[in-house]
Structure 1
Amino acid sequence: MTYTTKVKEEILGLKLSDKAELSAIIKLTGSLGLTSKGLTLSISTENAKIARHIYALLESFYQITPEIKHHQKNNLRKNRVYTVFLEEAVEAILADLHLADAFFGIETGLEQTLLADDEKGRSYLRGAFLATGSIRDPESGKYQLELFSVYLDHAEGLSALLQKFMLDAKVLERKNGAVTYLQKADDIMDFLIIIGAMEAKDHFEELKLLREARNDINRANNAETANIARTVSASVRTINNISKIADELGLDNLPYELQQIAQIRLAHPDYSIQQIADSLDKPLTKSGVNHRLRKINKIAEDL
């Protein structure tokens, strides 16, 4: 089961119902037909539980009995498509949900009253996500939530509604419609809170924190590895220079404080600067050891 499906199933389990939610579902996935008897309404989804939910909403709000049809997609995925079909009181339902204008091409955007009522706004976003929403699995580390709309102005309306809830929503136009999307992990978690998917939000946050902890550990390990590599490289260079001085000048001709440093480095090539400092007769800081090592390297370079 995908993460998106888990979120949708949690929403369906809340057993919330609001006309704003139904309005969003119909607007995003509904289509009109015309017969000799009048208008028909078809609402399609690949999720059987969502189809049953739509059926229940229509039955509860309008005391009608829709029909549920299904067919197999003719593609590689071969998903089953469920259609809630209605051929009675369609005009009245569309008018009640303020959708008639959208279907007849006069108005395709978002009803402005949704921006003024937080609860209706939450319900509308819940319906929009059930209809066309998707969330990239947070375990991937690449965060993205999308709501697909056929109309650009409706996608922009969804963006305005999300921004009303202080979310950084953006819109991307595509050939077959437009996508309203969120890319920040915190925004996606806030969206899940807004639509009531608290378990999904907690799971998302847990995966995010776990991934961040792993990244912190990896960064620390990488930094430690890089430090070790630099230490080894510097040690090898210094040992080569000490050998050069021993062959061409003789270590006995070095000042005693440099002789001691050179002898410790030759005897313990794996020692850190602090370990060299701790091995000296007289205490010395790491800065002091580094200063003497630089002197040794300079003597070797001048030979």
Structure 2
Amino acid sequence: MSFSGEVKEELQKQVAAARHCQIAELASILHFCGSYRAADETYNQDEEKKSSAFCEMLLIQAENEAVIRKCFTLLQKTFNINTSVNEKRVGKSGRPGVNSARIRAYDIELTDPVQIKQVLQATKFMDNEGMLRDMRAPVSAILIKNSCCQRAFLRGAFLSSGSMSDPGKSYHLEIVCTNLFQAEQIQTILLSFEVEARIVQRKKYQVVYMKDGTGISDFLNIVEAHKSLMNFENYRIVKEMRNSVNRRVNCETANIGKTVNASTRQAEDILLLQEKYGFENLPDSLKEMAEIRLTYPDAPLRELGEYLDPPVGKSGVNHRLRKLSELADNVRSQQGINS
């Protein structure tokens, strides 16, 4: 099972104790996966019609069985409605004849007018006069005014339409929405928890997403997926340690490269002075420094200073080598020698 699937399995088992939170989560699932049929006309996410006509059927459908199991549990706990879960085959994935697999969909159908009215009125998709609201319009603010209900709403949203990548590879969490109003409502709720998310259009959908590890960690905490949060943090720790080690290795490699290049350049300058200028013409301090560098070509500056008599520090060694380099450049300039 993918990491995203593990998160959804955990969320499916997480049921809020308070009835108002249960209703908020059920409203979220209906918001993303629900539809109703009234007067022989089906209302879907592309329509903005309202009707006071008799509602014949309430349908909740999803390809992820965890969504339907959670909806079944919420209907039972919140409204004492016991219904059946139907399984259907809605198509095939992959190329025909090549790794082709049946796509399964699961649904719950409510046909009892009393039960439908009870559910739709509680989730604010039907008002007291029996007027139906578009299920893809923003969920009523009354249902999600409390932070606990907002957590439940986000839990239902991710369960219904969310996904995330394997944290061992990359950080990416998203919730796919059918319209901008859905996406903006989720983005606003996340912002109330101080979690920033962005919205991008992908074909006909609006996608709320985050790529920051801290933000994803906060999201898992908000929706109360605590086991998945711990697993995610373990991935983050390993990844951060690996990145830290790589940075240190790269830094040390770069430093070694600089040291080798500098010592090679210093040796070239000293050999030039030995041939074109003569060590006997150098001040005693620079002559000693030149001889020590040629004797220990790979030694770091601090070690070179310990070989001098009397010993000097790293800055003193660097100063003398710089003087030798400047003198070598002057010799090159005077004698027309290319660097």
* Same fold, judged at TM 0.5 (above): yes
Structure 2 counterpart of 1:117, from 133, 146, 154: 146
Structure 1 counterpart of 2:270, from 242, 249, 254: 242
In the alignment, what sits opposite 2:49?
A: none
Structure 2 counterpart of 1:58, from 64, 75, 79: 75
TM-superposed deviation, 1:293: 0.8
In the alignment, what sits opposite 2:165?
A: 136
8 Å CA contact 2:173–2:216 kept in 1: the answer is: yes
CA distance in 2, matches of 1:78, 1:192: 31
Structure 1 counterpart of 2:75, one-letter code: L
8 Å CA contact 2:123–2:143 kept in 1: the answer is: no
Instruction: Kindly indicate whether residue 65 of structure 2 is the aligned counterpart of residue 48 of structure 1.
Output: yes
The 5 A counterparts of 1:76-91 are 76=94, 78-89=102-113, 90-91=116-117
In the alignment, what sits opposite 2:281?
A: 253
TM-superposed deviation, 1:260: 1.4
TM-superposed deviation, 1:279: 0.8
In the alignment, what sits opposite 1:295?
A: 323
CA distance in 2, matches of 1:114, 1:169: 22
Structure 2 counterpart of 1:49, one-letter code: A
CA distance in 2, matches of 1:40, 1:84: 10
The 5 A counterparts of 1:272-287 are 272-287=300-315
Q: Give the 3-state SS of the residue equivalent to 1:59 in structure 2.
A: helix
Structure 1 counterpart of 2:68, one-letter code: A
In the alignment, what sits opposite 2:31?
A: 27
Aligned residues: 302
In the alignment, what sits opposite 2:260?
A: 232
CA distance in 2, matches of 1:252, 1:286: 25
Question: Residues 53 and 114 (structure 1 numbering): CA distance in 2 closer, same or farther, change over 3 Å?
Answer: closer
Unaligned segments of structure 2, at least 5 residues: 41-53, 95-100, 332-339
Percent identity over paired residues: 33
Instruction: Kindly indicate whether residue 201 of structure 2 is the aligned counterpart of residue 160 of structure 1.
Output: no
Structure 1 counterpart of 2:125, from 99, 124, 128: 99
- Structure 1 stretch displaced more, 71-80 or 32-41: 32-41
CA distance in 2, matches of 1:300, 1:289: 17
Instruction: Kindly indicate whether residue 298 of structure 2 is the aligned counterpart of residue 270 of structure 1.
Output: yes
CA distance in 2, matches of 1:272, 1:199: 50
Question: Residues 38 and 115 (structure 1 numbering): CA distance in 2 closer, same or farther, change over 3 Å?
Answer: closer
- Deviation sequence 1:76-107 (CA, Å, 0-9, x none): 16432222233223344222211247964498
8 Å CA contact 1:27–1:99 kept in 2: the answer is: no
Q: Give the 3-state SS of the residue equivalent to 1:302 in structure 2.
A: helix
TM-score normalised to structure 1 length: 0.90
In the alignment, what sits opposite 1:3?
A: 3
Q: Give the 3-state SS of the residue equivalent to 1:73 in structure 2.
A: strand
The 5 A counterparts of 1:188-203 are 188-203=216-231
Instruction: Kindly indicate whether residue 224 of structure 2 is the aligned counterpart of residue 206 of structure 1.
Output: no
- Structure 1 stretch displaced more, 218-227 or 45-54: 45-54
Q: Give the 3-state SS of the residue equivalent to 2:124 in structure 1.
A: coil
Question: Residues 44 and 195 (structure 1 numbering): CA distance in 2 closer, same or farther, change over 3 Å?
Answer: same
Question: Residues 169 and 203 (structure 1 numbering): CA distance in 2 closer, same or farther, change over 3 Å?
Answer: same
Question: Residues 27 and 50 (structure 1 numbering): CA distance in 2 closer, same or farther, change over 3 Å?
Answer: same
In the alignment, what sits opposite 1:14?
A: 14
CA distance in 2, matches of 1:203, 1:86: 38
TM-score normalised to structure 2 length: 0.81
CA distance in 2, matches of 1:42, 1:33: 8
8 Å CA contact 1:110–1:153 kept in 2: the answer is: no
8 Å CA contact 1:109–1:151 kept in 2: the answer is: no
- Structure 1 stretch displaced more, 171-180 or 18-27: 171-180
Q: Give the 3-state SS of the residue equivalent to 1:137 in structure 2.
A: coil
- Structure 1 stretch displaced more, 233-242 or 168-177: 168-177
CA distance in 2, matches of 1:78, 1:201: 32
In the alignment, what sits opposite 1:70?
A: 88
- Structure 1 stretch displaced more, 76-85 or 211-220: 76-85
